[in-house]
Chains A and B, each alone.
Chain A
Amino acid sequence: MEDAPSDNQPLRILIADDSDSDRLILKTLLRRLGHKVLDAANGAEAVELFRQASPQIVLLDALMPRMDGMEAARQIKTLAGERLVPLIFLTSLSDADALARCLEAGGDDFLTKPYNRVIIEAKINAFNRMRLMHETLSHQRDLIHEQNRKLTEEQEIAKRVFENVAHTGCLDAASIRHHASPMSIFNGDILFACPRPDGGIQLLIGDFTGHGLPAAIGAMPVAEIFYGMTSKGFSASDVLREINQKLKRILPSGMFCCAALIQADFALNQIQVWNGGLPDGWVIRTAAEPVQLPSAHLPLGVLDATRFNAAMTILKTCPGDTLLFMTDGVMETRNAGGDMFGDNGVAAALRGIKDGETPFDAVMGRLHEFSGGLLEQDDLTLVTLEMADGAALEGLSDRLQLSALEGPAEWRCTYQIRDRTLGQFSPLPLLLHICMEVPGLRRRSGEIYILLSELYTNALEHGILGLPSEWKSTAEGFGRYYEEREKRLNEIEEHFIKFSLTHSMTDYGGRLVVVCEDSGRGFDFHKHGQPPEAGRGYAGRGLMLLHRLAGPLTFRERGNHVEIVYDWHFSEAGKSENPAVTKSGVSHE
């Protein structure tokens, strides 16, 4: 404290003694020592003076008329409250019990009469030091309280901002179960889920090194990128590359984010997984042994863009299969004996799933038992995603505001990508973005995205890469398909895919014509005059979907030129029920 009085600064001292002569002696003595003295002739007067002048040290005679020293001591200590006011009894008593009673009443010490000048001076100085120390401590404690209050208040505000940015997205979807630790305002764990325009879900679970503010600051751009790019239709690999690059740039060297990104596609019943530094994920299958999804990459924010590997593991699933991911906190949960739950704990929990029990409840249940109910102290996150039929979300279309029917109505655009770019870049987000400028199409973003993405996948995988879709009907072929896809993508030369989009207004709404051409060999489309039947396996689902959404496709040239006509109605542009599509049956030319 800047104004802390030193040992020899004058003090305000209250003395109370009913003996006029004793009082005078003491008063003179203290004045000579340089102190300011207030004097009272009995206890009641002393209490009153204390109230008025708040002296710093009090000397009280034990035996006085009207109110004795003991009672006065009790009242003065109450009045002093948190302040330390040293209270010394003046007494000629020598009986040990009486002296003890003085201290019990709140006295700090006693001085025996007759007075000794040296002892009085020494005691007053000693008690003054104690008083000053107490004052300093109280002051510092108050400062800490105040700082802490401000910090908590700031954190509360920061938390609200954080929650707006790093919101939980569609974690409340029926197919998702999750547990997120309530440990602190900002723990280092993140868990985000976002619907994709095609009705699938993208899920990000992660664990930043460290806790608190630094981890939260890292989480904010991750959330922004994840939600922004996922809802625009960017693939999981694109999202990962962007997040990694951002974290590499903004985080200090020692900080990174262990994470897993999962892209679930309900229509195709497949998941794509990327695990960088998180414990093994699992797919718990309805009809087969569970599959482990171990970490295959460095965490996010460690490698620079040129060395970062965003390759996804692709897995075929069946309805009812459940994906499970968790952060390190699950592994590190300890029991009373100090043992960790670990991989074995998770594996045992999954082996012991009872009939009708979900994998989520099984793992959480074992974890609770294991920790003996101390789970809440840990910083852990656990999430499951069930691959259920009909788990597809409405897509983003319902969340977009339908503005007045303004925007581009009559337009045409052509976009062509060639060669190496075919393997590195997806044109879908860009094309979707262009279509979404038309207010009447905005409600239909999910359908438009599926339309574009199916055309693109067909053109790339079958048209250019020449991959036979029959491969995908067996589990082994499925893996081979994607390996071969990767290999052939790297060898593309002299190839292109060209999209031509034309939008025009009609009497009832608008019409979007999408033409997709590729440089591949094409196929004998006359044989494919009928849309493929449902249930024929995984292949051909794309064309079936397109047919359902927009009516027959028109194939031209050697089958490498596909046209789709998609109509929308004014009357239904604002609703989200059945597609406002007129089945415009365009025949083969």
Chain B
Amino acid sequence: MPIQTRRSEDGRTLTIKIEGRFDFSTHQAFRDAYEHGDQEVKAFVVDLTDTTYLDSSALGMLLLLRDYAGGDNASIRIENCNSDVRRILAISNFEQLFAIH
């Protein structure tokens, strides 16, 4: 399973973990991961520990998640990027929209 989700104990934070390539092929699975309509989830963590590569359609998917989570009021952290992934996020200046760790 390339995408796994985990809820924090209080149920308020949803962690989405992507394994391997984060590109258009994971589009549906990524959407399914957060679109389950649970009102309790207030914050999202995108865990890229095992993500080897990220392309521009993945950037698009992150923007979709941001819209879903409330646009400018969204709380989304992107964690554990490797250097390639970090470079792509930096070129697109996504730190202006997401908390990247």
Contact = CB atoms under 8 A, between A and B. Distances in A.
Nearest to A210: B57
Given A253-B67, A254-B63, A298 B57 contact: no
A255 interface: yes
A207 interface: yes
A299 interface: yes
A376 B57 CA distance: 22
Interface stretch (A53-61, A271-279, A409-417, A562-570): A271-279
A378 B93 CA distance: 25
B1 interface: no
A295 B56 contact: no
Contact of A253 (B24, B60, B90, B94): B60
A85 interface: no
B3 interface: no
A158 B59 CA distance: 28
A573 to B, nearest CB: 49
Contacts of A207: 56
Chain A, interface residues (CB within 8 Å), range? 20 to 34
B64 A254 contact: yes
Contact of A277 (B57, B66, B91): B91
Nearest to B62: A254
B46 to A, nearest CB: 14
Interface string A287-305: 0000000111111001000
Given A253-B67, A302-B97, A295 B92 contact: yes
B96 interface: yes
Contact of B57 (A209, A294, A296): A209
B61 interface: yes
Contact of A254 (B60, B93, B97): B60
Nearest to A340: B84
Which of B56, B59, B67 has the most CB atoms of chain A within a 10 A radius of its CB? B56
B63 A277 contact: no
A258 interface: yes
A295 B96 CA distance: 13
Given A253-B63, A253-B67, A254-B63, A209 B56 contact: yes
Interface string A138-159: 0000000000000000000000
A298 B96 contact: yes
A209 B91 contact: no
Which of B90, B92, B96 has the most CB atoms of chain A within a 10 A radius of its CB? B92
Which of A209, A254, A255, A279 has the most CB atoms of chain B within a 10 A radius of its CB? A254
Contact of A258 (B61, B90, B92): B92
A328 interface: yes
A298 B67 CA distance: 16
Contacts of B59: 209, 256
Nearest to B27: A254
A382 to B, nearest CB: 17
A328 B76 CA distance: 26
Contact of B64 (A210, A253, A278, A295): A253
A48 B94 CA distance: 75
Interface in B21-79: 24, 56-57, 59-61, 63-64, 66-67
Given A253-B67, A277-B92, 19 more contacts: A209-B56, A209-B57, A210-B24, A253-B63, A253-B64, A253-B66, A254-B60, A254-B63, A256-B60, A256-B63, A276-B93, A277-B93, A295-B90, A295-B91, A295-B92, A296-B93, A298-B92, A298-B96, A298-B97
Shortest 10 CB-CB contacts between residues of A and residues of B: A254-B60, A277-B92, A209-B56, A254-B64, A253-B67, A298-B93, A295-B91, A209-B60, A253-B64, A253-B63
13 contacts: A207-B56, A210-B24, A210-B56, A210-B60, A254-B57, A254-B63, A256-B59, A258-B91, A258-B92, A295-B93, A296-B93, A302-B63, A328-B56
